[in-house]
Amino acid sequence: MKTTKLLRRRRDRCGALALLAALTLIPGTAMSQLRPLVPLMLDNLGDVNRIGEAVALDDLEQVAISVQALKQRAVGMRQLDLATLDLDPEQDALWDGFLQAQEAAADVVLAAAEKKDGRAVMAATRRLVGNACLGCHASFRDPGNMLRPSVLFMTSLLSAWRDMNRGLSMKDFNLIDLRARDVSALTEVIAGDEILENAFRLGGSKQRRIFRGFLRRVSENAALISQAADAEDLPAVLDASNAMWTDGCISCHEKFRR
Ligand code: HEC
Ligand code: HEC
Residue type, 65: I
Residue 191's SS3 state is coil
- Which residue out of 133, 155, 249 has the highest number of ligand 1 atoms within 8 Å of its CB and is therefore the one to mutate? 133
For domain 37-144, say whether CATH 1.20.120.10 is its number. yes
* Nearest CA owner, ligand 2 atom 40: 249
Tell me how far apart the terminal alpha carbons of the chain are, to the nearest angstrom: 26
Q: Which ligand is nearest to the CA of 162?
A: 2
Give dist(CA 18, CA 4) in Å, integer.
16
Residue 192's SS3 state is coil
What is the whole-number distance in angstroms between the Cα of residue 143 and the centre of ligand 2?
19
82, 116, 180, 251, 254 from 176: Cα distances, Å: 37, 37, 6, 22, 26
pLDDT tens for each residue of the chain, 258 residues long: 333 333 333 333 333 233 333 333 344 445 555 678 888 887 888 888 788 778 878 899 999 999 999 999 999 999 999 988 878 888 899 999 999 999 999 999 999 999 999 999 988 998 898 889 878 888 887 644 555 678 778 888 888 888 888 888 788 999 999 999 999 999 998 999 888 988 898 888 999 999 999 999 999 999 999 999 999 999 999 899 889 988 999 899 888 886
For domain 2-33+147-256, say whether CATH 1.20.120 is its number. yes
CB of residue 37 inside a 6 A radius of ligand 1 = yes
pTM higher than the cut 0.75: no
Residues of the chain with CATH 1.20.120.10: 37-144
